[in-house]
Amino acid sequence: MASPSLIPAHFIVFFVVSRLMSILGNLRPSKNSLPCEIDSLGVHAKLRYDLDAIGLASTDYGNIVHEIPSAVLYPTSIDDIIELIKFSNECPLPFNVAARGHGHSVRGQAMAHDGVVVNMLSLKKHYKNGNGIRVSTSGNYADVGGEQLWIDVLNATLEHGLAPLSWTDYLYLTVGGTLSNAGFSGQTFLYGPQISNVLELDVITGKGDFMTCSKDQNSELFYAVLGGLGLFGIITRARIVLAKAPKRVKWVRMIYSDFSIFTRDQEHLISTKGLEYLEGSLLMDYTPANNWRSSFFSPSNESQIISLLKKHGILYCLDVVKYYDDETTNSVDKDVQMLQEGLNFIPGFTFMRDETYVDFLNRVRRGEITLKSKGLWDVPNPWLNLLVPKSRILDFNAGVFVDIIHRQKKTTGPLLVFPLTKIVWDDKMSAVVPDEDIFYSVGLLHSGSFNDWQDLDNQNNEILEFCDRAGIKMKQYLPHYKSKEEWIKHFGPKWNTFQERKAQFDPRMILSPGQNIFNYV
Ligand code: FAD
């Protein structure tokens, strides 16, 4: 595969634009597929059919799938969304509706072929009071619009010295978008995914009903929507748990050459008290030690790592973070030292950074800015995210990391692997995880070019086939399947409940067609 970094930025921008233009053709969104009565609705004036609106709604971070909607709604209030969904329900042949958060899906999940995409970010501009993020007087929670970006939630809550507990690695994602999947990162082993840190939701169901739900009120809707892939309703408000925010972090990276020792230490660390974040990643001898997602190593550290890579071929990085503030500033180094006691990383290969809490949480943004400046952000990103049961993670390493990825040397993107604990996930929610107490999040974050991303996707298929053959009962995160059978297998024992909830909250199957679940049923 040609490394994207060899391609000039202006060429890539030109390529993306011309490719999109060719996909959209003489862009004539098939407005005809919407009933003409739509023109008499109050929201009529907020529907857009122009190239900019349609172009944006038919692309996403993945840059692989492009579905052209008939129109895009730019709502100024949640009543606009209610009116649109109710209208679709009244039509003899309802049209599809998809909420689009920040469009950071990788397989067209927020698109709506011939339907209407709701540009949720449009709501941000229309708050009469405040900015859509309200911190409670008790300080225990914030009420946040579903269209809000997590970076804005962080900044608004920090003004009160508070912050949510559970994060994603990247903060330019909407609250509604991550809660529709799960939302996890290095804090998740301790605090649970973002869907486990929600107290209450306001949701517009697929019938157009506006409902408030929680564990105690309309609980079936609450559990359906969390991890529900946008299929049951559109989240317009989430009540997110808050806690006192730390000021700074000690971020430690330790290097391993043996995967079984690496995972043993990871599992040991998540079972002990004292750290707030744990992740892991792989370094390969054919890629640079720093990548866009993490430029952790200084130039001198980097050359040390490169010589180690020459010897071992693959290295494993274990990242842990300890939060601290004024009261704990004197003890934090000692605490970090204690956490490292008994760990078996390669002697001398431990590196530490000291950062503000905000810089640490917002670390991936730095990589995004660099990639954007080189024109390398808006390229095809055929990511594969898996949750692999702990009992098979060594087989996964041998069969996938070593025998497929390292042998083929195709992917240059970040490769993540770190353990999560099932106890902090609520099984009543729609999100699906493997049936073991500990499972590993594996993120194969490939980036390709418009000519060769298919090569990486073929490798993804090889990985999925390997897991199938080896009987590794992994689950896809941010799943995408083409057939009903695959979806039924994905949901396993949850499938019947999933279907029943769909019939209850979106009986005409209007919402989230880009997930390709009920379109095939
Ligand atoms: P969109 O892509 O716009 O939408 C995703 C789905 O949610 C669609 O089906 C859409 O219809 C639905 N949806 C959107 N808004 C709403 C709403 N208000 N109500 C109901 N449904 C809605 N995930 C993690 O868990 N951890 C990570 O660390 C992480 N890092 C990432 C880093 C990058 C650079 C990228 C591109 C993605 C990352 N993701 C991560 C994945 C990300 O969480 C999901 O792709 C998420 O859906 C993106 O949010 P979005 O606002 O862009 O959603």
279: annotated active-site residue: yes
For the sheet containing 277-284, what is the strand order?
Answer: 350-356, 248-256, 314-324, 277-284, 415-421, 438-444, 384-389, 475-477
The ligand 1 atom nearest the CA atom of 230: 21
The pLDDT, as a whole number, for residue 18 is 55
* Residues 61-76: tens digit of each pLDDT: 999 999 999 999 999 9
Sort strands 71-73 and 116-119 into parallel, antiparallel or unpaired: parallel
8 Å CB contact between 167 and 190? no
10: annotated active-site residue: no
Distance 229 CA to ligand 1 centre (A): 9
Classify 125 in phi/psi space as left (phi over 0), alpha (psi -120 to 50) or beta.
alpha
Is 170 a pocket residue for ligand 1 (Cβ < 6 Å)?
Answer: yes
Place of tokens 């003899």: 92
487 contacts: CB under 8 Å, gap ≥ 6: 481, 495, 517, 520
Classify 429 in phi/psi space as left (phi over 0), alpha (psi -120 to 50) or beta.
beta
Distance CA 83, CA 79 (A): 6
Nearest one of 319, 336, 21, 377 to 186, comparing CA atoms: 319
Distance 175 CA to ligand 1 centre (A): 8
* Residues 408-434: tens digit of each pLDDT: 999 889 999 999 999 999 999 999 999
In this structure, which residue's CA is closest to atom 25 in ligand 1? 183
Distance 172 CA to ligand 1 centre (A): 9
Label residue 50 exposed, middle or buried (CB < 10 Å: 0-12, 13-18, 19+): exposed
Phi, psi (rounded to 5 degrees) for 291? -130, 180
Residue 38 in tokens: 């739509």
Is 98 a pocket residue for ligand 1 (Cβ < 6 Å)?
Answer: yes
In this structure, which residue's CA is closest to atom 34 in ligand 1? 170
Distance CA 5, CA 246 (A): 37
Classify 492 in phi/psi space as left (phi over 0), alpha (psi -120 to 50) or beta.
left
List 66, 102, 104, 446, catalytic entry: 104
H or E element: which one contains 457? helix 453-470
8 Å CB contact between 148 and 132? yes
Residue whose CB lies within 8 A of the most ligand 1 atoms, among 168, 188, 231, 445, for a mutation test = 168
Distance 104 CA to ligand 1 centre (A): 5
Is 456 a pocket residue for ligand 1 (Cβ < 6 Å)?
Answer: no
Residue whose CB lies within 8 A of the most ligand 1 atoms, among 102, 150, 154, 173, for a mutation test = 173
List 60, 169, 202, 506, catalytic entry: 169
Nearest one of 97, 5, 2 to 57, comparing CA atoms: 97
220: annotated active-site residue: no
Strand partners of residue 315: 283
Give this prediction's pTM.
0.94
Is 123 a pocket residue for ligand 1 (Cβ < 6 Å)?
Answer: no
Is 100 a pocket residue for ligand 1 (Cβ < 6 Å)?
Answer: yes
Distance CA 508, CA 433 (A): 28
Distance CA 30, CA 39 (A): 14
The pLDDT, as a whole number, for residue 36 is 86
In this structure, which residue's CA is closest to atom 21 in ligand 1? 230
The alpha carbon dihedral of 227, 461, 520, 29 has a sign of: positive
Residue whose CB lies within 8 A of the most ligand 1 atoms, among 73, 123, 170, 372, for a mutation test = 170
8 Å CB contact between 494 and 517? no
405 contacts: CB under 8 Å, gap ≥ 6: 284, 411, 415, 444, 459
Distance 163 CA to ligand 1 centre (A): 20
Query: What count of other Cβ atoms lies within 10 Å of the Cβ of residue 322?
Result: 20
Distance 193 CA to ligand 1 centre (A): 13
Nearest one of 312, 339, 484 to 406, comparing CA atoms: 312
Sort strands 233-244 and 162-164 into parallel, antiparallel or unpaired: antiparallel
Ranges of the chain whose pLDDT falls below 70: 1-32, 292-294, 520-521
Distance 89 CA to ligand 1 centre (A): 26
CA atoms within 13 A on the CB side of 430: 28
457 contacts: CB under 8 Å, gap ≥ 6: 64, 382
Distance 340 CA to ligand 1 centre (A): 34
Residue 453 in tokens: 């991303």
Distance 173 CA to ligand 1 centre (A): 6
Residue whose CB lies within 8 A of the most ligand 1 atoms, among 56, 58, 65, 100, for a mutation test = 100
How far is residue 501 CA from its own chain's centroid? 23
3-state secondary structure of 213: strand
Read off the amino acid at residue 322: K
List 67, 80, 152, 279, catalytic entry: 279
Q: In three state form, how does the secondary structure of 324-338 look?
A: ECHHHCCCHHHHHHH
Is 218 a pocket residue for ligand 1 (Cβ < 6 Å)?
Answer: no
Phi, psi (rounded to 5 degrees) for 201? -135, 150
Nearest one of 105, 164, 170, 124 to 477, comparing CA atoms: 105
The pLDDT, as a whole number, for residue 28 is 47
